[in-house]
Amino acid sequence: MKNIKPVAILLTPVLPQSGGSGRSLRAWHWLQTLSQTYRVYIMVTDPCINITPLSHNFSEVNVLAIDHTLQSTSPLYARITLLFPFLVLVSKKCVVDWLHPLSNRLINLCLDDLVDEPVKYILVFRFYLHDVAISISERFPEAIIDLDMDDYEPLTRLSVAGAQVRLGRYADALRSFSAAIQYWFMERLVLKGYRTVYLAAEKDCPLIPTGKETVISCRSNKILFPAYFPLPPLNAELSLLFVGSLSYPPNEEAVKTLVISIFPELQRRINRPIRLSVIGRHPSPDVKSLLERAAHVDFIADADDLTASYAKTHIVLIPLRAGGGTKLKTLEAFAFRRPVVSTRHGVRGLRAVSGEHYLHAETPMEFAEAVMRLERDQTLALQIAQAGWELCARNFRIE
C-alpha cells in the first residue's frame, strides 16, 4: 500500500517564490522545508497571485487563495487606535494591518477539500495572520501550529518610525509608533498558543514574551546563490551599487543619504570616474526625481535578474539606519562575492565582523574612507568579498 504523506498548511501573505521580495523568498524556503515531509496546502491571503511557477518547482503542493474570506482593519478603527493604541486590549479589530476572517463559514468552505486529509501541521507566516490561523486550527485541533514572525514587530515598526521622522513624514511616523505599541500588546496576548515562534535575527529572540510551552527559535533568512560568480570588472570606472525596495522608508532614507551625501563626497575624493547604480521598485516621486537628476547615477526601477548588475559592480553600499530582521540585500552582496561597506544596522543578525566580512561606516565621511580603502587595495577588497561569501555560504545558503 502506498504511503501517504501527512498534510501541512502554509498560511502566508505572499506566494512562495525563489525570486522577488524577501517575504516571498522566506515563504519559499518554508515550502522547500515542508514539502520534504508533507503534502502542502498553501493558503495565500494576497489577492494578486499567480500560481503557475509552483507547478515547476514542487509536487504535491496545492494553492488556495483565501483573500475573499478576509478583511483588513477598518480605516475608522485605525484612526481611533492611532491615538489610543491600548484599545487593542479590548478588540483585535483595532490592530493596524491585522487580517480578520469575515466568518468561520467562509474559511471552512476553503478547507472542504481537506476534511478527510491528515492535517498534522500548520505554519503561520507573519503575526498579523493570527486570527486567520486560529480559524483554521479550530478545524484541525490535532495539528501542531507554529508561527514565523520573521521580524520582531514592535522593534521593527519603532525603527521605521525613526526613519520616517528623519524623512520629515511625521504623520507616518506617528502611525508606525502607534503600531509598535499595538504589536507590543498583542505579543503578550496571543503568542502563548504556538508551539514554536520563529524570528529571522537571533538577537531578537530574547525580546519575545511567551509561556513555558512555547519555544522561541531563530530561523535565519537564507538565499539562493547565483549560478555563477562574476569577477569584479576591470574597467577604469569605479561602480557602486545599492539594491532595495524604495517604497520602504529605511531604504528610501538610505538612497537619499547615498545620493545627497555619500556619493558627492566620493566624487570629490576619488580621482577616477565613479558611478552609482540604484535598483529598486516603487520609488516615491521625490526619490525618483532625485535619482533621475543626479549626475553619474543610474536608476533601474526593476531587474528580474541582478547578475548583470553585480557583474558591473566593484563595491556594494548599505547605509541603512532602520528596519528589522536581517537584510537580504547584504546576504545577496555576500553571495555575489562583492565587498560590502555597511552600517551596523545593515549587517544586524548576521554575525559579520567589521574588517573581516565587511567594512563598517556610519557617516558619509566614513563611507567615503572605506570605499577609498577598498579602491586602493584590491587585495583587501578580494579578501573582504571572499570572507563575506564564506560567511553567507556557511550560514545563509539555501541548498
Structure confidence by residue, pLDDT tens digits, 192-220: 889 999 999 999 999 987 777 889 999 99
Residue 155 contacts residue 207 (beta carbons within 8 Å):
yes
Check residue 300 and give its pLDDT: 92
* Model confidence at 83: pLDDT above 50: yes
Q: Above 50 in pLDDT, residue 1?
A: no
Q: What is the mean pLDDT of the chain?
A: 90
Cβ atoms of 63 and 49 within 8 Å: the answer is yes
The answer to whether 254 and 229 are in contact (CB under 8 A) is: no
CB 13 within 8 A of CB 47: no
| Mean pLDDT, residues 79-88 taken together | 87
Q: Considering only CA atoms, which of 6, 51, 3, 11 is closest in space to residue 31?
A: 11
pLDDT score, position 2: 52
**pLDDT at residue 235, rounded to an integer:** 74
Weakest mean pLDDT among 58-72, 253-267, 308-322: 58-72
pLDDT band (50, 70, 90) for residue 266: very high
| Residue 262 cell numbers, joined | 555619500
272 DSSP 8-state letter? S
pLDDT at 55: 45
Q: What is the reported pLDDT for 253? A: 97
CA–CA distance, 149 with 128 (Å, rounded to integer): 9
pLDDT at 3 > cutoff 60: no
* Grid cell of 355 as nine digits: 574588517
- The DSSP letter of residue 225 is P
Segment 100-119 mean pLDDT: 84
**pLDDT at residue 218 in the model:** 95
pLDDT value at residue 305: 78
- In the chain, the domains with their CATH numbers are 7-218 (3.40.50.11930), 238-395 (3.40.50.2000)
- 330 and 340 Cβ atoms separated by less than 8 Å: yes
The three-state secondary structure class of 365 is helix
Q: Does residue 82 contact residue 69 with C-beta atoms inside 8 Å? A: no
Closest CA to 70 of 40, 110, 31: 110
Q: What is the pTM of this model?
A: 0.90
C-alpha distance from residue 136 to each of 63, 64, 205, 293 (Å): 15, 13, 26, 51
Q: pLDDT band for position 68 (50/70/90)? A: confident
The C-alpha cell at 368 is 567615503
Mean pLDDT value of segment 40-44: 92
Mean pLDDT score, 76-87: 87
pLDDT of 316 over the 90 cut = yes
What would the DSSP string read from start to end of 93-112? GGSTT-EEES-HHHHHHHTG
| DSSP secondary structure letter of residue 54 | G
Please determine, for residue 127, whether its predicted confidence score (pLDDT) is greater than 90.
yes
CB 125 within 8 A of CB 10: yes
Residue 237 corresponds to which cell in the numbers above? 570606472
Q: Is pLDDT of 54 > 60?
A: no
Enter the DSSP assignment of 316.
E
Nearest to 8 by CA among 37, 32, 29: 37
For the segment 171-188, the average pLDDT, to the nearest whole number, is: 93
Q: How far is CA 144 from CA 8, 9, 193, 273, in A?
A: 9, 10, 10, 58
Which range, of 10-24, 39-53, 115-129, averages the lowest pLDDT?
A: 39-53
Contact call for residues 326 and 349 (beta carbons, < 8 A):
yes
Span 71-75, mean pLDDT? Answer: 88
With beta carbons less than 8 A apart as the criterion, state whether 310 and 232 touch: no
Per-residue buried b or exposed e for 218-233, using 16+ beta carbons within 10 Å of the residue's own CB: ebbbbbebbeeeeebe
Q: pLDDT category, 254, cuts 50, 70, 90?
A: very high
Please write the tens of the pLDDT for every residue from 327-355: 999 999 999 999 999 999 999 999 999 99
pLDDT above 90: residue 118: no
Distance CA 389, CA 375 (A): 19
